[in-house]
Structure 1
Amino acid sequence: MEVKSIKQEKAEVEIWQYVFGFTPMAVLKCAIQLEIADAVESHGGAVSQPDLASAVACSPSALGRIMRYLTHRGFFELNQSTNQYSNTPLSRQILKNGAKSFAPFLLMEASQAMLAPWHKLSERAALEGGSAFEAAHGEDIWEFGSQNPAQSKIFNDGMASHARRAVSEIMERYGEVFGGIGSLVDVGGGDGTAMRCIVEACPWIRGINFDLPHVVSAAPRGQDVEHVAGDMFKHVPRADAAFIMWVLHDWSDEECVKILEKCREAVPKETGKVIIAELVIVEGEEDKYTDARLALDMAIMVHTHKGKERTNEEWDLVIKGAGFSSYTVKDIGSIFSIIEAYP
């Protein structure tokens, strides 16, 4: 009889997690679409399975199996004495109207348009600079979005939900980064959510949201933020400082240099700065966000031509290549860091 090592037994158990690795995302997408966490909340925080099934218009037997899985994964708790489900800190992350809800971001990543390119990853890996997204859809992610308003909305809603969380983290942990700034341009700011959050927290700032015409045209209007349409490779509106978040990872080093050059030209040489909110991968070191950072790097590989999450050395290359005289990197205890680049 074969005697298995502890490592071999562990591997044989663990591989099953990868065989069905798509399951957590798929079931969580289902829970968001059914608004299960919201239904639990609306019932005072505890609800029986029959009442929950009625509330979300779901088959009781199907819901029972879904809740069994999600409870196992830590999304809900089942009180054995009352036979009622309650939310957990994890399920509150997917409340539809939660201020920092992850629901729109997950729905974006779980949309058919964003999932299809994953099946083309091997093709992307075989060709330097190839695009899995383009292989799946016949055009790159930005062209696809401009031609498909429904998908563009899913994408913008997902990025807006990230922006709310990200700006909140920046304000809590490094809010002084916006001190002394009179005007700020958000480069690639989507529907303006990040800039609205910044201006709300820092009312002395005149906010400018800058993005492509089809993105800006769908952005909600208000008195607090000015929306400007344009191409960041050609021009960035002038301001005291520029803010660019989760944009540069979509582009190659050469393209990042061009974008950052336009950002540098948009701010005053003596007093301006460019604030970059992006991931920094520290190779050889791991923390609680390492797995998420590396997973996001794979997502960027799948969805863009030459984008990537960068190491400290790679950030040094593009920032100095864009002509900045100096920069600092601030770890704020989040999945991303804050880089301040000075002309």
Structure 2
Amino acid sequence: MASHAQNLAALWEMAIGHATSFGIKAAVLLRIPDILSDSLEKSMSLEEIAARLQGTNIQLAPLRRLLDYLVVKKVLLKIQSLEVPGEFKYGSTELCEMLTESKFARLLMLQDEVVTSGWHHIHEFILHGGEVPFQRAQGMFIWDYMEKNPEFLGLFSQGMVAISNVTMDSVLQTYHGFDEIRGVLVDVGGGFGADIGRVVEKYPHIAGVNYELPHVAHAAPAIPGVRHVRGDMMENIPPADAILLKTILHDFDDDEVILVLQNCYKALPHGGKLIIVDIDMDPAERGPFESLKFAFDLVLLALTKGGKERTSVQFTELLTQAQFNNIKTIGDVNCLCSIVEAHKLET
């Protein structure tokens, strides 16, 4: 049983949890992870870090306070200087490396004021229903907001690319179901096409198609081995030998998910395979990501109309309603997500 002091500390951690999010945001905007990563020794003094900042009046005392907080959160190490007794250097950790611009930095999208605006209205939605939290905050659904605000669409898309990159690292390392695909693989809701590009790069026998909404797909860059197609995932999906759905179904309510799955079914030939990469809320699959999965479910509550994380049992029920069979849960792939496979085997 936790002591009173432990409970009190936990309460304070919950009350000011945003300090971590925005402390990390400040560090990323200052490019501190990149500065340390570029250092040969992966460690630098306060003054050395300050000298690399792009500012006109660098404040050393506030910078030290930020760095010391990152040490407490295990993002940085504090190392005794070998050259000057009593002086310290700040060193990089694996967490710090993950925050470099080429990796997790784009997750700043999650702290953007537009994204967080809906969080202030969750209680109103629970009490009164009606407009979802994001809609209460911005006067429209998030998908409409992105269509009307190209700058936010770019930020959001970059954030999704960062999340997908982390997920696809694990998928490509642990999942071998792409081996058996012959012909066309369509990534439905594939954003700018980076993920299908990585699949095709590793499995060059696959012909990749990135299928996305017009206002997203128009900005997609050319990717070797990938064809970009614009359209609506609830209406038309290009013919495919296999279809990939990555963390897209959780944006929709059950009726909309069934529409997407039915369109996937129509696009596949007999024997075609559907690959779903998404969070599995099954208690047996939570592992080290348990609280994070519930946090992402709250993100969907704040941002979407009817979106939610689901268990593998719920995915199976929805797939069955869409006429898929031979459904198999692959399970944890060493990241937030699990994989569910389903086939079109007409009887």
- TM more than 0.5: yes
For 2:11 and 2:179, locate their aligned partners in 1 and report how far apart those are by CA, in whole Å.
46
For 1:10 and 1:70, locate their aligned partners in 2 and report how far apart those are by CA, in whole Å.
21
Kept in 2, the 8 Å contact 1:129–1:306? The answer is no
Kept in 2, the 8 Å contact 1:264–1:273? The answer is no
Shift of 1:312: 2.7
**Structure 2 matches for 1:27-176, cutoff 5 A?**
27-44=23-40, 45-56=42-53, 57=55, 58-82=58-82, 83-97=88-102, 101-105=103-107, 107-128=108-129, 130-176=131-177
Q: 5+ residue gaps in structure 2?
A: 83-87
Shift of 1:46: 1.7
Kept in 1, the 8 Å contact 2:43–2:89? The answer is yes
Aligned counterpart, 1:26 = 22
Distance 1:156 1:178, change over 3 A: farther
Aligned counterpart, 2:266 = 265
After the TM superposition, which of the residue ranges 5-14 and 84-93 deviates more from structure 2?
5-14
3-state secondary structure, aligned to 1:122: helix
3-state secondary structure, aligned to 1:289: helix
For 1:207 and 1:49, locate their aligned partners in 2 and report how far apart those are by CA, in whole Å.
47
1:235 aligns with 2:236: yes
Shift of 1:41: 2.1
Shift of 1:129: 6.6
Shift of 1:334: 2.3
Shift of 1:59: 1.4
Aligned counterpart, 2:85 = none
Aligned counterpart, 1:329 = 329
3-state secondary structure, aligned to 2:78: strand
Deviations 1:214-273 (A, max 9, x none): 10001112342111110111111111111010100000011000000001111112x201
3-state secondary structure, aligned to 1:136: helix
3-state secondary structure, aligned to 1:254: helix
Kept in 1, the 8 Å contact 2:34–2:100? The answer is yes
- TM-score where L is the length of structure 1: 0.93
Give the number of aligned pairs.
334
Shift of 1:302: 0.7
Deviations 1:92-117 (A, max 9, x none): 010112xxx12112x11111110111
For 1:7 and 1:309, locate their aligned partners in 2 and report how far apart those are by CA, in whole Å.
33
For 2:125 and 2:50, locate their aligned partners in 1 and report how far apart those are by CA, in whole Å.
43
3-state secondary structure, aligned to 2:318: helix
Deviations 1:104-155 (A, max 9, x none): 12x1111111011111111222345741111111111111111111110111
For 2:172 and 2:258, locate their aligned partners in 1 and report how far apart those are by CA, in whole Å.
27
For 1:240 and 1:219, locate their aligned partners in 2 and report how far apart those are by CA, in whole Å.
23
